[in-house]
Each structure stands twice: as C-alpha cells, then as structure tokens.
Amino acid sequence: MSIETVLPVAPPSSASVANATITMLQNHSLTGAVQQEIERLINVGELGPGDKLTEAALAERLGVSRGPVREAFRVLEEVGLVQLEKNRGVYVRQIPLEEALEIFDLRAMIEAHVGSTLAANATDEQLANLRTLVTQMEHAVQVEDEATYYRLNVEFHESMVSYAGNKKLIGMYRKLTRELSLFRRRNFSDHALLVTSVNEHRDILDAIGSRNAVKSAEALRQHVLMSRERTIRNFVKYSERSAP
C-alpha cells in the first residue's frame, strides 16, 4: 500500500496579499471617481432625466474599464439619481413633481432646524466660509454664470447642514437634494431668478450672523418654500414648452 504525501498548501505571500489590497483600493477609488463624474454630468444637465446610460459609452468617455462604471451605477441607484430597469438598462431617474414637492417640504423642516442651530453654535470661521460662498455667488450672478452659481448654491447649503454637526442629518439631506437636482437647476434658468436667489442667501447669512435662532430658522424655511414655488412655476413652463 502506497502512502501519499500531502504537501501543505503554502499561505499566500505578504506580497500577494498586499497586491490584492492595493487592487481593491484602486478599484474602490476609481468607482468613486466615476460616480462623482456621472453625478456631475447629471447635475450640470449634460445627462438629463430619462437619458439612457451605457457602460461601454461611459467607460470609453471616462477612460476606464466597464467594471467601475457598473459599480458606480449601483451606488447612484441607491442615492436615487439613476434607475436600473430589467432588460432595458440604466436611465437617469425622472422624479415626479409630486415627489419633488414632498422633498422640498422635508428640506424646509431640515433647513429651519439647521438655521436655528447655526445661529446658536456657528463659529466665526464657519460664518466666514459662508460669507465667502455668498460673495462668490454674487459674482456668478454678475457674470451670469448659472453653472457656477448652481455649484456654489449646493455647496452653501451642504456646508450649513455639515456645520450643524449631525452626521445622520447630512446623509439624509444629501440623498434628498440629489434627487432634486433637475428641479433645483431649473430654478436658476434666468438672471432674474439668480438675483432673487442670491438676495435670499444674503438674508439667510445675515440672520445667522445676528445669532437670532427664530429669525434664522424662518429665513431658511421661507427660502426653501420659495424654491418650492419656483419649482411649480418652472414645471408648468417647461411642460408647456414640450407640449406638442
């Protein structure tokens, strides 16, 4: 009877483990970069609601393999920016007006809380950062740069929510506002709307700077509700334009 010699399986070398880890981190980082770029294209209107997204086309455009694009689609579906339709593909999500208005109502409550919190707790450095953003927004209005104004507007509101210090609230707020990107962008579709918006942001900043919690909460609540009304008017206007 022969005796088989069973050779022990060599454990993976530290080099192979390190290489696998590096590859995983690189892929994760690349997926994040692809996700951010697709999100940017949606936010600036280059990819619009209902547009079909294909892995091959985006991979070629971004100079990556299809894997990170596929993973980015999954993340973007979770945050509500795209929808995966079985046997049809991936599309930029179209938010119904009724759902958008519900999100605005939630935003009004969240931002009123943020306003009162910042009036009590914002540091001088945080207020200075918000002033800088409003100054940059005013310049964008002067040169009629809608894209830059939109980006600064998003940064202004996200900064305030971040300064409130509630991490759960930040995540909730970002998910809600991502879904509103189409409607929010339309609210800056002409110069008069930009002027109105930047004046409201200056009033918000003044209210927070006065350290009056009630005034700050109301300034932010009214700003969001006015955005809600502008959304309704713009929805009607764009619907009339696209009607046959």
Give the model's pLDDT for residue 40: 84
Name the token pair of 93.
Answer: 């999500």
Q: Which of 13 and 111 is assigned the larger pLDDT?
A: 111
DSSP characters over the chain: ------PPPPPPPHHHHHHHHHHHHHHHHHHHHHHHHHHHHHHTTSS-TT-EE-HHHHHHHHTS-HHHHHHHHHHHHHTTSEEEETTTEEEEPPPPHHHHHHHHHHHHHHHHHHHHHHHHH--HHHHHHHHHHHHHHHHHHHTT-HHHHHHHHHHHHHHHHHHTT-HHHHHHHHHHHHHTHHHHHHTTSSHHHHHHHHHHHHHHHHHHHTT-HHHHHHHHHHHHHHHHHHHHHHHHHHHHHH--
160-to-98, 105, 150, 152 alpha-carbon distances in Å = 26, 18, 16, 12
Name the token pair of 178.
Answer: 């991502």
Give the model's pLDDT for residue 141: 95
Q: How much is the pTM?
A: 0.75
Tell me the domains of the chain and their CATH numbers.
16-92 (1.10.10.10), 97-242 (1.20.120.530)
pLDDT-derived band at 170, boundaries 50, 70, 90: very high
Quick: pLDDT tens for 48-71: 878 999 999 999 999 999 999 999
pLDDT-derived band at 79, boundaries 50, 70, 90: confident
pLDDT at residue 195 above 90?
yes
Give the model's pLDDT for residue 1: 47
pLDDT-derived band at 101, boundaries 50, 70, 90: very high
Asked whether the beta carbons of 221 and 174 are under 8 A apart, the reply is: no
